[in-house]
Structure 1
Amino acid sequence: MPEPTAASAHVIDLHSHSTASDGEFPAAEVAARAAAGGLAVWALCDHDSIAALPAGAEAAAAHGLRFVPGIELSVHLERREVHLLGHFVDPASKALRGFEDLLAEKRRVRMGEIIQKLAGLGIPLRPEQVERFSGGKTLGRPHVARALVEGGHAATVREAFDRYLGEGRPAYVGRYRLPAEEAIRMVHAAGGTATIAHPGVNRLERGELARLAEAGLDGIEIYHCDHNPSVRGKYLRCAAELGLVPTAGSDYHGPTITPDRTFGSVTMSAAELEALESRRP
């Protein structure tokens, strides 16, 4: 599929983040940037949080965007972490709000453990130095990474992960493990559809996707900034074989955090969006 330019009409992007999780900008600013990038349909999918969805919906309406309320869940398939996108979810879902509160507390405990490990490496960080980068209650490693950059302990967010925060690095702390099948059920219970995010990044194979399809998976995020044409082709074949809907997402976080992921860089067809929406419970 050819890449759209920023001026392209009818661009559909179902994956972006705000300061409610690890994005650079509040939901209103993300909406403005989505509109400037030529989007017609925009989804906000903060990590483990639906807190910014009301603000996102209001801002989308102001910019003439169709808004798709979403969430991105960190889930586990066997022993490894993958990401699951929920689209068309109910922002008032009690199940998602309860899960968000549970995860927020677990993330706060994890953050304290990461700060302790960094202190053991001679890097003093206070919780407030990390929390200032979060616009909500969802704290994650990207917030620590930005604090490390601000403190001169790393040149970039990527370097902070490579040196300290990535899996196997000295300040890494594992997170709460939500089974992928349970996450799919939770998204469906909230009225949404479940899509596996950027499978090429996680190197998911057909057998793993087939297992998720059996558990009720609805789509695969194929048109992603980190997927080259051969990767897209591989997953398009998987989607066709497994009866899953191909989706598109820039995975926009903001230029400081992910400078290579921009609005207008990927899209999907209106027919694919309709097919995904038709799978809502």
Structure 2
Amino acid sequence: MLRHLSADAGAVLTDPTPLNPWPVYDLHSHTRASDGLLTPEELVLRAVGHRVGVLAITDHDTVDGIPSAREAIARHQLPLQLIAGVEISSLWENHEIHIVGLGVATEHPELTAFLKEQTDRRQARAELIAERLEKAHIPGSLAGAMALAEGGAITRGHFARFLIAQGKADNMAQVFKNYLARGKTGYAPPQWCTIKQAIDAIHHSGGRAVLAHPGRYGLSAKWLKRLIAHFSEEGGDAMEVAQCQQAPNERTQLARYAQDYQLAASQGSDFHQPCPWIELGKKLWLPGGVEAVWLRFPEIAQV
């Protein structure tokens, strides 16, 4: 959630009319290839059921879910356009920042090599998390997380689900607060790539780089603007403006920042699993006055 935005909260865009209400674009979603609960086939079927017309699958540091999704769309003859994507974890000023790549060539050798490095970093972090939980008398967490990942990229979400199953917490928010957040028992500092390295990997594979969910990093308005400026200076192309759940005025404020830093605007549910408040295509629209990423970069849907 954005904090300390009072100075800019009253900003009004020149045209409040939402852009392109149909088809619905959802450009941020996850499958079992990372920490989503649905298979790629289940995800694309659900997207169509929720009237999504264009879907990007953006698993964490992997594109392994894309081929299965494409096959399912063809086999079921779904009226759904799939954008090949990825969500790359990066590090900036000691904050973990996520960069979404849209329209990437999934078999590009540079992207493949880069994602292998990210996978190695992710595995090393998982082992460190498990080691710290073991010292806190919570054994078996690495094996448990790996079993939940089912061969996909291991994330803190898998550790959270393991801890819930062990009765250590009742829900994801509680388990992160008590075990996996910075300074807690099972926290391990990430060793991700830089924002520039993430952007370069996306660009080399023919994609466009999008700053993911800017309002979720717990940054003040001052620091958030520094992040967006840095992202733009390093060659970033767009930023997410619209999500299912946002604080009052957040969408308008993020749209203003997109304008200020000449970035295109994106939207996405960041869907991981069925739940009442985050759903594929739900409440996804862009305020007027911004340029949608699919309009500025129509090639992202042609890979």
With structure 1 as the length reference, what TM-score do the two structures score? 0.90
Contact 2:52 2:80 in 1 (8 A): yes
Within the candidate set 50, 53, 73, 1:40 is matched to 53
Counterpart for residue 264 of structure 1: 281
Counterpart for residue 138 of structure 1: 153
The residue type equivalent to 2:39 in the other structure is P
Counterpart for residue 175 of structure 1: 190
Hey, what's the Cα distance between the residues in 2 that align with 1:46 and 1:20? 7
CA RMSD of aligned residues (A): 2.2
Q: In the alignment, is residue 52 of structure 1 matched against residue 65 of structure 2?
A: yes
Within the candidate set 9, 28, 33, 2:41 is matched to 28
Hey, what's the Cα distance between the residues in 1 that align with 2:276 and 2:124? 30
Within the candidate set 220, 228, 231, 2:239 is matched to 220
State the identity as a percent.
Answer: 29
1:132 counterpart SS class:
helix
Q: Which moved more, 1:8-17 or 1:141-150?
A: 8-17
Hey, what's the Cα distance between the residues in 1 that align with 2:185 and 2:138? 12
Q: Which moved more, 1:98-107 or 1:232-241?
A: 98-107
Hey, what's the Cα distance between the residues in 1 that align with 2:114 and 2:285? 30
Counterpart for residue 253 of structure 2: 234
Within the candidate set 126, 129, 135, 2:144 is matched to 129
Contact 1:106 1:176 in 2 (8 A): yes
Counterpart for residue 192 of structure 1: 207
Q: In the alignment, is residue 152 of structure 1 matched against residue 167 of structure 2?
A: yes
1:29 Cα deviation after fit:
0.7
1:278 Cα deviation after fit:
5.3
Hey, what's the Cα distance between the residues in 2 that align with 1:210 and 1:114? 32
Deviations 1:216-274 (A, max 9, x none): 1111100012323411111111111222111110000003xx652111213347x7222
Q: Unaligned stretches of 5+ in structure 2?
A: 1-15
- Decide whether aligned partners of structure 1 residues 60 and 266 sit closer, same or farther in structure 2, where only a CA change above 3 A counts: farther
Greater RCO structure (CA 8 Å; 6+ sep) = 2
Alignment coverage as a number of residue pairs? 274
Q: Unaligned stretches of 5+ in structure 1?
A: none
The residue type equivalent to 1:274 in the other structure is L
Hey, what's the Cα distance between the residues in 1 that align with 2:130 and 2:203? 36
Deviations 1:22-47 (A, max 9, x none): 11111111111111111000000000
Contact 2:96 2:190 in 1 (8 A): no
Counterpart for residue 29 of structure 2: 16
Hey, what's the Cα distance between the residues in 1 that align with 2:296 and 2:95? 29
Hey, what's the Cα distance between the residues in 1 that align with 2:141 and 2:230? 42
Contact 1:57 1:67 in 2 (8 A): yes
Q: In the alignment, is residue 74 of structure 1 matched against residue 89 of structure 2?
A: yes
Contact 1:247 1:268 in 2 (8 A): no
Hey, what's the Cα distance between the residues in 2 that align with 1:155 and 1:171? 17
With structure 2 as the length reference, what TM-score do the two structures score? 0.84
Contact 2:141 2:159 in 1 (8 A): no
Q: In the alignment, is residue 277 of structure 1 matched against residue 298 of structure 2?
A: yes
Contact 2:55 2:81 in 1 (8 A): yes
Counterpart for residue 12 of structure 2: none
